[in-house]
Amino acid sequence: MKPKTRDNLIYVGVALTIVAGFTTYMFYGEGTSGTIRDIPGPILWGILSTPAIVGLVLEGFWKYRRRLTLWVILAVIAAANVSVVGIAYSRGWNPPVLVWSTLTGLSMIPIFIVTSKILGARGSDTAKCSRRTPPSGAAAPDQRGEHRE
């Protein structure tokens, strides 16, 4: 699959998940109260951030998509984000969007580090050379350190 097609499919999947979350909340609110209520901040952030976080991790580790480990990691990430949103909503905590965005952005750093350690990822697909393959034009391992004429 071409990288552009893969990225577009991931973005469409994230967008459809967000739309499904809004639609579910809308029908739930309509069914229970007869009106469409305002969406509380924590729930709104959960609807927006959970698929986005999972989509970013999936895009970053796409070559490992057939490993069960990646899907378990994605489920744990989603469950952790939903639980944080649930705790914030149950306690009535409604911080500004900037606070949610900052916390989500900062949490992505350890998520990517831990995921790459668990999966054994060495770098991105776009890396020019890895530790195992020397760049083109480099000396062979037995010629390194020797004077060549």
Domain ranges across the chain: 3-122
73 CB-near residues (< 8 Å, 6+ apart): 57, 115, 118, 119
Please indicate whether residue 30 or residue 111 has the higher confidence score (pLDDT): 111
Q: What's the half-sphere exposure (Cβ side, CA atoms, 13 Å) at 77? A: 25
Please indicate whether residue 68 or residue 45 has the higher confidence score (pLDDT): 68
The top-scoring range by mean pLDDT among 86-90, 112-116, 131-135, 139-143 is 112-116
Tell me the pLDDT of the chain averaged across its residues: 78
Rg (CA), the chain: 22
pLDDT surpassing 80 at residue 146:
no
Tell me, what's the pLDDT at 45? 80
Give the tens place of pLDDT for each residue, 21-43.
888 888 887 778 877 777 777 77
User: Which contiguous run of DSSP H or E holds residue 143?
Assistant: none
Measured CA to CA, the distance from residue 101 to residue 104 in angstroms comes to 5
Tell me, what's the pLDDT at 72? 93
